[in-house]
Amino acid sequence: EPNSLLVAVAGDKGIVTIWDVIHNRMVFRQSNSVVKAATDGGLAVTGLLYCAALKTLAVVSVDHNIILHHATTFAITKQLVGFSDEILDITFLGVKESHMAVATNSCDIKVYKVEDMSCQLLQGHSDIVVALATSSAKPSVLVSGSKDKSVRVWLMTEDSVMCVALAMRHTSAITSVTLPTNKCDFIVSAALDTTIKLWNLPTKLSPDKSESLNVRLTTIAHEKDINSICIAPNDKLIATGSLDKTAKVWSSEDLSLVGVLRGHRRGVWHVCFSPTDQVLLTSSSDCTLKLWALSDLSCIKTLEGHSSSVMVGRFITQGLQVLSVGADGLLKLWSIKTSECLKTFEHHDAKIWALVVSKEEERLVTGGADSQLVVWRDVTEESLAQRQQEQQERALQDQELANRLQNQDLLPALRLALTLERPATVLNIVQAVLKSDRDGLLDTVR
């Protein structure tokens, strides 16, 4: 309106209101806020920025997020999400793993678009989200578990993600969730109540309605907290790892116990099935990883090298190698054949909680207590090609040096021997130059 002055206001409620201060009336009240109201008497929104050229209003929240709204429709155009909390879990999401879901010690799940790291906040849980899971059978489905004792199912449609199902039967905080690989028709969850539950997952999920999931099976699995749960590649077996120092294998048909794996001296943090062999990998607070044969439940290998608890272990290269991360902040690559640590990578400053590997294994992502989300790229082929090129160049230089020595072309041969770091050859050439009284020796060695 002419002669109007509009002012945007936001504070502890996390909602933006726009006022016409000339006519002393409110002209707009936000209904699509993704900023949670403050509960401690502080501010939920710490800043508002308006850009007339882009017709965009930026809302800055107290938890390091910037939400961009179109000034006319107030629709959210982009979310820039920062955080200073621990990263507890990570998983790839979407067709061709276009997105990445991250649990950051918050009740909100952050879904990043891998291409430009733009973000969407998923709100629904009322307490910290600690576990995430996806399945290659349905890459657009995300499952989350929270300290609010609930399991939620999220569905991605294009670039938006919404909650489509809810499961609430656990009596304590959820600690781990997992989905089958082949047929994504059930969910398995574990909680601090020491139980595991198998939930029926509808084959068709609709973004237009939210469903309540039914429990098919429940069993008390361990004596202490369950830290990890996973499903075998054939969907027939389920493995759990617990603070009671054991890992257990269960039948997904009826949750009957198949066997108990004993051998770790401290609690088991993570369990993972081999993609090709009848082998289970466990990682523990006793600083080791163990490989177990499922045929007789015996320990076939122990990998030692971390100086603190091993938080996660995963198979790569068709089950021939293992990646592990630990409380020592290190990422390690292991050879299963030799039981040796092939390489250690150091980038994090604190405990690494999460490790996820892309389907094609061209990249992996780690996250931990230092709030860093680190993307690693496989450069094995590039390094091999570079080494081969260096070897070829070295062979050519060696041949050139031999030719110059044969032709008594001493000064260029001396320059080349210095480049190749051949001290014995350099000495012989220098002695030959001195005997022949040739000029230019000082200029060559400078």
Tens digits of residue pLDDT in 33-48: 888 888 777 889 999 9
Nearest to 186 by CA among 235, 148, 228: 235
Segments in 130-279 forming alpha helices (H): none
In a domain, 446, yes or no: no
Q: 230 and 334: one domain? A: yes
Contact 414, 444 (CB under 8 A): yes
Residues 61 and 154 grouped into a single domain: no
Q: Are residues 113 and 14 in the same domain?
A: no
Task: Tell whether the model's pLDDT for residue 384 goes beyond 90.
Answer: no
Structure-model confidence comparison of residues 230 and 413, the more confident one: 230
CB 90, CB 132: distance < 8 Å? yes
> Does residue 244 sit in helix, strand or coil?
coil
443 falls within a domain: no
Query: Which residues have C-beta within 8 Å of that of residue 117, sequence separation ≥ 6?
Result: none
Q: What's the rounded Cα separation, in Å, for the pair 130 and 89?
A: 7
Segment 277-315, tens digit of pLDDT: 999 999 999 999 999 999 999 999 999 999 999 999 999
The DSSP line for 76-107 is EEEEEE---SPP-EEEEESGGG-EEEEE-SSS
Instruction: With respect to residue 445, please indicate whether it lies within any of the assigned structural domains.
Output: no
Q: Indicate the SS3 state at residue 182.
A: coil
Q: 49-84: buried (b, 16+ CB within 10 Å) or exposed (e) per residue?
A: eeeeeeeebbbbbbbebbbbbeeeebebbebebebe
d(CA 273, CA 374): 24
Residue 441 dihedral angles phi and psi, to the nearest 5°: -65, -45
**pLDDT, position 40:** 78
Identify the bridge partners of residue 92 per DSSP, sorted by sequence position.
100
Report if residue 357 sits inside a domain: yes
Q: Is residue 393 part of a domain?
A: yes
| In-domain check, residue 265 | yes
Residue 1: inside a domain:
no
Domain that holds residue 316: 83-382
Q: What is the CATH number of the domain that holds 342?
A: 2.130.10.10
CB 431, CB 438: distance < 8 Å? no
Other Cβ atoms less than 10 A from the Cβ of 430: the count is 16
d(CA 299, CA 291): 6
- Summarize the confidence of residues 114-124 as an average pLDDT: 87
- Residue 26 and residue 175 in one domain: no
Residues 243 and 343 occupy one common structural domain: yes
- Across all residues in the chain, what is the average pLDDT? 91
359 within some domain: yes
Residue 377 shares a structural domain with residue 410: no
The answer to whether 129 and 109 are in contact (CB under 8 A) is yes
User: Rounded CA gap, 145 and 152, in Å?
Assistant: 7
The pLDDT of residue 167 = 96
Quick count: other Cβ atoms within 10 Å of Cβ 13?
Answer: 16
In the structure encoding, which two tokens stand for residue 252, read together?
Answer: 């997904």
Based on the domain organization, do 135 and 261 belong to the same domain? yes
CA atoms of 238 and 254, how far apart (whole Å): 11
Nearest alpha carbon to residue 198 among 233, 223, 222, 170: 170
Burial group, residue 112, by CB count within 10 angstroms (0-12, 13-18, 19+): buried
Residue 82 in contact with residue 97, Cβ under 8 Å? Answer: no
Tokens representing residue 156 in the block = 């991605």
If one counts the domains in the chain, the total is 3
pLDDT score of 243: 97
pTM, full prediction: 0.78
391-407 pLDDT, tens digit per residue, is: 888 889 889 888 988 88
Q: How confident is the model at residue 385 (pLDDT cuts 50, 70, 90)?
A: confident
The percent of the chain in helix, strand and coil, each rounded to the nearest 5, is 15, 45, 40
**Mean pLDDT confidence for 6-13:** 92
Place of tokens 């045929």: 295
Q: Is the pLDDT of residue 58 over 70?
A: yes
Residues 347 and 211 in one domain: yes
Report which secondary-structure segment, H or E, holds 432.
helix 423-436
If asked whether residues 204 and 299 sit together in one domain, one would say yes
